[in-house]
Amino acid sequence: MDLTEWTSRLEIVSAGYAEVYAVNRSPEWLLLKLTEELGELSQAWLASSGQGRNRDKTPEQLESAVAAECADVVAMALLFARNVGVDIGQALTDKWLPWEDYHRQRHDSGTAVPPVPLDANARL
């Protein structure tokens, strides 16, 4: 399933949630939900990795919680992007994929020209 189809299906669930709980899914609300879900993912990861309280959950439950929170973060990011008119597929292509060839060439030949100049912190 591609990102557009995923987002359309997530939209159905999110719209239903908003109807059931009388929520106005404004861009601000979606962004705050994304932030909330990222906090929940952080909490789940800390517990799963032994850096936080496990709340009497089994390792399997902790691992499942990390996966569920990852899903929530991705879902809210996709819904936010859709709500504010971002074509996420195009945005990912524009932002990330110019670097794909660079890193492949750098890995294969040891040298490559980056799509934009690297800053002074680059170790190459």
What's the pLDDT tens digit per position in 17-27? 999 999 999 99
Q: Which residues of 80-113 are buried (b: 16+ CB within 10 A; e: fewer)?
A: bbbbeeeebeeeeeeeeeeeeeeeeeeeeeeebe
Helix (H) or strand (E) holding 54: none
Side-chain half-sphere exposure of 60, counting CA atoms within 13 A: 0
Domain boundaries, the chain: 3-81
Residue range 29-68, pLDDT digits in tens: 999 999 999 999 999 999 999 999 999 999 999 999 999 9
- Asked whether 73 and 66 are in contact (CB, 8 A), the reply is no
